[in-house]
Structure formats: structure tokens, C-alpha cells
Amino acid sequence: MTPAKRLLDITLALLIGLILAIPFTVLLLWLLITQGRPLFHVSERMKTPTEPFSLWKLRTMRPSAADSGVSGGDKADRVTPAGRRLRRTRLDEIPQLWNILRGDMSFVGPRPPLRQYVERFPAIYGPVLQSRPGVTGLASLHFHRHEELLLRACNTPQETDAVYVRRCIPRKARLDLIYQARRTICLDLMIVAQTAKKVLPGNR
């Protein structure tokens, strides 16, 4: 990560954090009332092929000790009503501002993968994770909705895993490597702006 990209991340994270401080507090109170504790979901993700970190999100599902893998249709019954709204607007990702400030993530980059997929597919994730993982990116912009539709149709963890491995990982990796080859501060700002536009009411 270049110093300019890191400076942009810190500046944007602090600015957005200040703007959202009061609305986020209200959101936490609403979640506490509507779905109770815990408010946050913390999961292990990979920053590099060998370095994990704790990814913070707002909880959108009922907790399960046996939870593993990506979310597909097999987990749909665990998504709370509030969680559906959070996912649709991507408000569940606000806590990742903390990950950005810590340096675990950037605003723009590949979505941070689970350890199991990095270990299973080192030839794919070795090149992809040469970029710092991000909250959004080319893959998030151009494939996120399609991935949701593909995984929503899966009825078992095994089917979800098979579809994710066969139809999602390779396509996202191609987009992540295109970003990696062309990344600039201007491109990052454009991706952030397009992501914000997509999640605004009336554009989803």
C-alpha cells in the first residue's frame, strides 16, 4: 500500500466516522432494542496469505456456534429482519472503519477472504492478496449482487461451498487483479463514489 493510499484511507475513515457518529449510535440503540446482543459479529479474515485479522461487522444473523463458510441460502433462516435491512444498505459494514484505521483493510481492494479458501486456493489468493483487502472494489461493484443471487439459491452448506468455489472465487479474482494492475487514487475515489451511489435509497 502506498503512503498516498494509506493517507486517503485514514482521512476518509476519520471523516466518515465523524459524520456517522451520532447516526451510528442511534443505529446501535435500534439494533439493541430490535434484536438484542451481541451487536457485533467478529470473524477471522486474511490480510495476506499468512496473516489473519479480525473483521468487524454489525450482526445480521442469529448466532450459531457451528457457523462456518460463506453465507448462502442455507443460512437464510438465521438472518434477522434488521439484518436484512443492514445487508441491503451495507450498513453492517460501518464497523470496518475501525479495521481501516488499524491498517487491516483499505477502502478499496479485494474483499477479505476466509482462511479456508486462502489455504485451499493459494494460486488464486497469493496474487490477489498482494493488494490490501477492502470494504469495496471492482468485484464488489460488478459481481456482489450476482454472487448474492447465486448463493441464495443454495440449500446446504456443501452446495453453497461448491457454487462459491466454482462460480464466484475465479470471477472475483479476475476483477481484483484488474484493479490491482490499474489502481490509482483516482480509481479508488471513483469506486468509493460508485459504491456510495449504489447503496443510496432509490439506486438499489
Domain range for 115 = 3-199
12-52 pLDDT per residue, tens: 999 999 999 999 999 999 999 999 999 999 999 999 999 99
Residue at grid coordinates 475465479? 170
In degrees, to the nearest 5, what angle opens at C-alpha 33 toward C-alphas 27 and 34? 85
Is residue 204 included in any domain, yes or no? no
pLDDT score of 166:
96
Residue 69 pLDDT class (50, 70, 90 cuts) = confident
At 118-165, the pLDDT tens digits run: 999 999 999 999 999 999 999 999 998 899 999 999 999 999 999 999
Residue 68 predicted with pLDDT over 90: no
Confirm whether 80 is domain-assigned.
Answer: yes
Q: Is residue 48 part of a domain?
A: yes
pTM of the predicted model, to two decimals?
A: 0.91
Domain membership of residue 142 (yes or no) is yes
Q: Residue 108 is placed in which grid cell?
A: 478499496
**Number of domains the chain is built from:** 1
Q: Is residue 105 in some structural domain?
A: yes
Contact status, residue 47 vs residue 128, Cβ threshold 8 Å? no
Give 107's pLDDT tier (boundaries 50, 70, 90): very high
- How much is the pLDDT for 144? 86
**Does pLDDT of 198 surpass 90?**
no
Residue 164, SS3 per DSSP: helix
DSSP label at 168?
A: I
